[in-house]
Copies of this chain bind each other. A is one copy, B any other.
Amino acid sequence: MRIMKRCDCIRKLLSVAAAILISLSMTAQKGWYRDKTDPMPVVNPDKTVTFRYYAPGADTVQVNGDFLSEKERPALMKNNGNGLWEFTTSAPVQPEIYTYSYIVDNQKVLDPLNMFVWRNISDLYNIFIIPGERTDNYQIKDVPHGTVSAVWYNSPSLQMNRRMVVYTPAGYEKGRGKYPVLYLLHGMGGDETAWLDFGRAAQILDNLIAQGKAEPMIVVMPNGNPSQEAAPLENSNGYNLPLFYLPKTMDGTFEESFKDIVSYVDKTYRTVRKKSGRAIAGLSMGGFHSLYISANYPELFGAVGLFSPAVSVQEEFKDNNIYRDIDLKWKAQMEKNPPLYWIGIGKVDPLYNDVASLRKKFDLCKYPYTYLESEGSHVWTCWRIYLEEFSQLLFK
């Protein structure tokens, strides 16, 4: 049979690939297709980490990232003489997920040898992981996995179809039972995908649920930018770059429209449709949103999580419906059937003092809340930990 002959076609394809390899390869460093299983950067046996970047003509090459302390970064790399710049951390790097990039002659570039890239806000970062207990629940393990869906819903308040990400726990599709819902909000400039990548929300929930530490729950991750239908490339703006500071993010618009999201979720999923079955939490701007949404709709949420929240309202918006009379709203929220109220912030977060003022106010009024003060600043490292902590307290 002629067409069953030895697979020339595949060989042809392989030789096309080989040609690409050759054209991209060079003597000083590995090309993309050559040693794919070698991770970059290199984690050495003593847990220091080595970075290498090939740039024979560059005057300076630096490596930047959150694995370096603030005073260390960016770190200058050393030219080893054949065009390869190298840097090894001075100490072992602790288990965590880190982001990094290079700066070649003052221009930020990604690592050509690391295909793992996440988008945070409008910027791209390479990532690497140092495995350990801290990162255990951020990894995909051999446990039942929930489903992650990108879903479009109609928002009558915003007169817009909008996209959100929904995590339904393992077993949801097969079962008939009702599930509680955690609404999980991103920070300024982020969007509905932020908690999935950097936040590891699906992995954290998969693992905590499998370990019996968290209740099976639906997690709804909406887009908190009311001017935006969806994340970049996923909206009808097409391939235009998004603005970093989007309009209407902290003027009450999103908070007022939030009922559209709850209404869609309660109509579309098998949810526990009462206060004890709903939680809301968010980071930074999402903490701000969670604070004011939960205060304005005290009968809606049985748990509130503020992760490094923004607290203060800009002068020009402070008379808006959502923000005015906040003391009275808190009183109503806290004095009758108060929610599980959880606040977390890093010791060196620029929002630390604002959160301290909020706590002082709550303390004076004897409003109950749980408080976690962690190491670290205004970063995902903290927010992943806060999600792990907060989600274990919910719906018990």
A46 sits at the interface (CB 8 A): no
Q: Is the CB of B152 within 8 A of A145?
A: yes
Size bin of chain A's contact surface: 35 or more
Q: A residues 234-274 with Cβ under 8 Å of B?
A: 234-236, 238-244, 250, 268
A248, chain B: closest CB distance, angstroms: 14
Number of identical protomers: 2
Q: Which residue on chain B has the smallest CB distance to residue A36?
A: B241
Partner of A236, one of B140, B148, B284: B140
Q: What residues on B are CB-neighbors of A163 within 8 Å? A: 145
Question: In the complex, A127→B240 CA distance in Å?
Answer: 11
User: 5 A–B contact pairs at CB < 8 A?
Assistant: A9-B310, A9-B312, A13-B310, A108-B112, A173-B268
Q: Is the CB of A244 within 8 A of B36?
A: yes
Q: What residues on B are CB-neighbors of A144 within 8 Å? A: 152, 161
Q: What residues on B are CB-neighbors of A133 within 8 Å? A: none
Q: Give the interface of A toward B (CB within 8 A).
A: 1-10, 12-13, 16-17, 24, 26, 29, 31-33, 36-40, 54-59, 83, 103-110, 112, 114-117, 119, 122-124, 127-129, 131, 139-142, 144-145, 147-152, 161, 163, 170, 173-174, 188, 229-230, 232-236, 238-244, 250, 268, 284, 310-315, 318, 323, 326-327, 350-351, 353-354, 357-358, 361, 378
Q: Is the CB of A32 within 8 A of B148?
A: no
Q: What residues on B are CB-neighbors of A244 within 8 Å? A: 17, 33, 36
Q: What residues on B are CB-neighbors of A26 within 8 Å? A: 106-107
Q: What residues on B are CB-neighbors of A109 within 8 Å? A: 109-110, 112
Partner of A354, one of B9, B16, B350: B9
Q: What residues on B are CB-neighbors of A232 within 8 Å? A: 115-116
Q: Is the CB of B315 within 8 A of A10?
A: no
Q: Is the CB of A1 within 8 A of B36?
A: no
A282, chain B: closest CB distance, angstroms: 15
Q: Is the CB of A351 within 8 A of B12?
A: yes
Q: Is the CB of A105 within 8 A of B39?
A: no
Q: Which residue on chain B has the smallest CB distance to residue A324?
A: B4
Please give 5 more A-B residue pairs, beta carbons under 8 A apart, in addition to A3-B354, A54-B107, A57-B57: A4-B313, A36-B243, A57-B58, A109-B109, A110-B110
Q: What residues on B are CB-neighbors of A128 within 8 Å? A: 239
